[in-house]
Amino acid sequence: MTQDAIERAWDALVGTARRTVTDGLVVGTSGNVSARVGDLVLVTPSGVPYDRLTPADTVAVDLDGTQVRGRLAPTSELPMHLEIYRRTTARAVVHTHAVHATAASTLVTELPPIHYMAAALGGPVRVAPYALYGTPDLAAHMMRALDDRTGCLLRNHGTVTYGDTLDQAYDRTAQLEWMCRVWLTATSAPGHTPSLLSPAELHEAATKLSGYGQPH
């Protein structure tokens, strides 16, 4: 893997991490972002404001978690990121503490299918049981919630999504937070129960979404 490729990937990763702050998905240094480049995983460091990161701060580990680049310690959520890379085809992972998603995670074991964009994450979004951050238990709970999904909620914690690119992983996070906000807003109307989509309707949406966008 060339130094240029690593530098480009780091710049994109830092840009995505800063975007999570700008868009209100995290506060301070909460949340983290990673990208796989060959056999390396670039990841945001622990406890460092994203606006202070420079190319000299590049942090990289191998798939076993051994740090191979950088002087800063990697995020404490590294076990979660690595488990996704080991067990899926992910090239990027975004973890946030988004307000509405975190609130929703305390109320349900699965986000009710309030909108067809749930199909873009593989189906109804599950909530992984609570476990202490940075632990193998949390990573294991998360992976069960991610079975056949590209995003999930972490109880009393936040969101995790992954994708083929940083942009895709980020967009999935933003969509998940938006769906949680819609559901919380709908359920707050006194005397009303929001309508939900059926499995057949979600499947229909998934089929149509698979061809969405411009042809390549």
| Active site annotation includes 77 | yes
H or E stretch covering 84: helix 78-87
Q: Is 190 exposed, middle or buried (0-12, 13-18, 19+ CB in 10 A)?
A: exposed
Do residues 113 and 204 lie in contact, with contact meaning Cβ atoms separated by under 8 Å? no
Q: Rounded to whole angstroms, what are the CA distances from 171 to 25, 38, 164, 177, 194?
A: 12, 23, 11, 10, 25
Residue type, position 105, single letter: S
Write down the catalytic residue from 7, 77, 201, 204: 77
Of residues 17, 26, 76, the one with CA closest to residue 50: 17
Catalytic center residues: 77
